[in-house]
Structure 1
Amino acid sequence: MKWAFVGASNIASEWMVSAVRTVGDEVVAVVSGNAERAQDFARQHGLVQALSDQRALVDLEVDAVYISNTNDRHEVAVSQAAAMGCHVLCEKPLATDLAAARRMVAACQLAGVVMSTNHHLRHNSAHRQMRDVLRHQGLGRLVAARVSHSVFLPVQLQGWRIDNPTAGGGVVMDIAVHNADSLAFLLGEYPSEVMAMTSASGMGQGVEDNAMSLWRYPSGLTAFTHQGFNTPHASNRLELLGDQASLEARGVLNQAPGGELVWRRADGNLSLRLDHDNLYVRGLREMHKAIAGEPNDMASGEAGVKSLAVALAVLESAQTGQRVPVRYD
């Protein structure tokens, strides 16, 4: 497939160009509202076309568009891509409000193209093995889940993420969506209500950089999640706790593969071997399956809508001090 990139972002540069090429596809153009940034990106990655208007892509006959501009600009980019008949891979969160995300999914459905959300974490080895253990009832009755996803946001990624709520800044929109998708991938359900508190611990300016919340699921399961931007020496952790055994994954909530996964059981602890497959490459391969009409683990556009709904409920709960239902519609 021939790809165009809308947004000359860090993630596009560091991960997605090589991922597209690894699966045998081609990146033919980059679009950025900053013409100089587009040209620099094209030179760095050997692209022929550097554009400042996405509508110019119509002459290039691209098959798919990867979108990684700021969150408030995703809807326009997705709508234009769908109108050109291109499959869409969009960064998370899909938008800054649920109605916009719904319109994006609808536009792709109407155009008959596949839409994927770039929730890369579901493609790591730990997530896949934890889901398999759950499916085979390897924990007994599942009691609770815990996600500790507090990191230090690298300087090159800070920018609008730490000071621009209009563009979708703040740690909840950036990381809580990942936690929602990770747990949905494992549990097969999304939370029905949340309770949350947020704070600005020094990095966030006008947005939260720390958030803790409790999520209740339709099955009755409860989950604790912590997401942060301002903890340079923290380790990330994902745990599933059952009445017969538990799973603890450390260092797996990252862009790169790696970490460790331990299955704690009555007969002793078992370390499960993790593969080192590139998460973004696996995500693209799952998207190829979806395009071919095959069963897949792709994070669809609908998955992006639901993870956004969870993040918005977390923000509402923190603002109101109340327990809040997650409104998916």
Structure 2
Amino acid sequence: MTSSILRWALIGASDIAATRMVPAMRALGHRVVGVASNSAERAAAYAAANDLPYATTDVDALVGRDDIDAVYVSSTNEQHRRHVEAVVRAGKHILCEKPLATSMEDATAMVDAAARAGVLLAVNHHLPGADTHREIRRLVRSGAVGRPLAVRVFHAVALPPRLQGWRLGGGPGAGVILDITCHDASVVNPLLDGVAIDAVAMSAQQGPWGAQSEDAVVAAIRFADDVLVQTHDAFTVPFAPTGLEVHGEEGSIVATDVMTQDPIGRITLRDRAGTRDIELGDRRDLYQILLDAFAAAVRGEGVPTATGQDGLAALAVAHAVLRSTRTGQREAVR
């Protein structure tokens, strides 16, 4: 395939597809052909609301269409493996919503199936493609802070009312760790070359909604060379900015408002020369950046913002954090 324009199918009548992905696809000139949902009524209503020409409950019929190049899977997390494997059988390329799956077994099977079939599997981790995070990685790799010693991630936000459904329940994939901590890992893994060793964490149920799963968590994760990473993730904090800090022997990077869905944020570098802001130039929509990289990878040019392997690595960190909250022990990342 040589074109940058893709024809998409959606599996899952999701909020993220309607509010972020479909607008980004259309802004780039991509075509969204149709949607599949478990509910015929929901599929039809979603198609009407989002101006989609085709709605169905038959996933195989949708992904088997000749006018589909790629499929965006944003069904609930426990359905990802089943839906991704259906797309693999159809020989189409896949962009899967994070977390890649609810278990490492399922996620590994998905990555392996796509590799065997020779189709592209990418994960909708939008943050690594942001100009802010690309610049932070460049600064660290260029030696701006010397040897990294510690990373701090602030990703405590308020969960919007429209999303206060299954994320607060007790089902597979619920809770702040699989929803947000995996995003933290998608950023920190490439920053530190992806060698996470173990994690210890403590979670709580802080919100007023009677959540059946954790809605706040603090974790400490050890990476290779004894780099320590601290994360605070929550659905319960309405007024704090998000941010990421990298502290090394020769300097510190302090980035604010960078753990968001929007192309905002500021980076400050502090070292012996003083404190200065780092100039940023690319303020494109983060999902358009992700889709551009995906389309380029489909053409055989470059790699996605987050590959299937990247999604697997992020999930491994999140699962170690989740296990630690349940056992009270340090848990290996595996």
Scaled to the shorter chain, the TM-score interval is: over 0.9
For residues 270 and 218 of structure 1, the distance between their equivalents in structure 2, rounded to whole angstroms, comes to 29
What residue identity is the alignment partner of 1:10? D
> Does 1:134 find its partner at 2:140?
yes
- Mark the CA change 1:314 to 1:204 in structure 2 (over 3 Å): closer, same or farther: farther
Q: CA deviation at 1:204?
A: 5.4
Counterpart residue number, 1:326? 333
> Does 1:171 find its partner at 2:176?
yes
Report Cα offsets for 1:161-196 as digits up to 9, x if no partner. 011332x10000101100011001222223110011
For residues 117 and 207 of structure 1, the distance between their equivalents in structure 2, rounded to whole angstroms, comes to 24
For residues 183 and 289 of structure 1, the distance between their equivalents in structure 2, rounded to whole angstroms, comes to 24
Partner SS, residue 225 of structure 2: coil
Partner SS, residue 246 of structure 1: strand
Counterpart residue number, 2:204? 199
Indicate if the aligned counterparts of 2:122 and 2:304 stay in contact, CA closer than 8 A.
no
Aligned positions of 1:222-241 closer than 5 A: 222-241=228-247
Gaps of 5+ in 2: 1-5
Percent sequence identity over matched residues?
Answer: 40
Counterpart residue number, 1:305? 312
Indicate if the aligned counterparts of 2:80 and 2:100 stay in contact, CA closer than 8 A.
yes
TM-score (norm 2): 0.94
Counterpart residue number, 1:117? 123
Counterpart residue number, 2:3? none
Indicate if the aligned counterparts of 2:127 and 2:259 stay in contact, CA closer than 8 A.
yes
Counterpart residue number, 1:100? 106
Counterpart residue number, 1:246? 252
Indicate if the aligned counterparts of 1:245 and 1:263 stay in contact, CA closer than 8 A.
yes
> Does 1:185 find its partner at 2:190?
yes
- Mark the CA change 1:204 to 1:284 in structure 2 (over 3 Å): closer, same or farther: farther
Aligned positions of 1:1-329 closer than 5 A: 1-57=6-62, 58-166=64-172, 168-202=173-207, 203=209, 205-274=211-280, 275-327=282-334
Moved more, 124-133 or 53-62: 53-62
Gaps of 5+ in 1: none
For residues 298 and 253 of structure 1, the distance between their equivalents in structure 2, rounded to whole angstroms, comes to 15
- Mark the CA change 1:84 to 1:78 in structure 2 (over 3 Å): closer, same or farther: same
Partner SS, residue 219 of structure 1: helix
Q: CA deviation at 1:268?
A: 2.0
TM-score (norm 1): 0.96
Indicate if the aligned counterparts of 1:317 and 1:323 stay in contact, CA closer than 8 A.
yes
Partner SS, residue 208 of structure 1: coil
Indicate if the aligned counterparts of 2:192 and 2:223 stay in contact, CA closer than 8 A.
no
Aligned residues, how many?
326
For residues 158 and 83 of structure 1, the distance between their equivalents in structure 2, rounded to whole angstroms, comes to 34
For residues 22 and 106 of structure 1, the distance between their equivalents in structure 2, rounded to whole angstroms, comes to 32
- Mark the CA change 1:244 to 1:213 in structure 2 (over 3 Å): closer, same or farther: same
- RMSD over aligned Cα, in angstroms? 1.3
Report Cα offsets for 1:181-239 as digits up to 9, x if no partner. 10012222231100111111124522000111111112221110111011111211100
Q: CA deviation at 1:282?
A: 0.6
Report Cα offsets for 1:216-267 as digits up to 9, x if no partner. 1122211101110111112111000012111111111111111211111222
Indicate if the aligned counterparts of 1:255 and 1:279 stay in contact, CA closer than 8 A.
yes
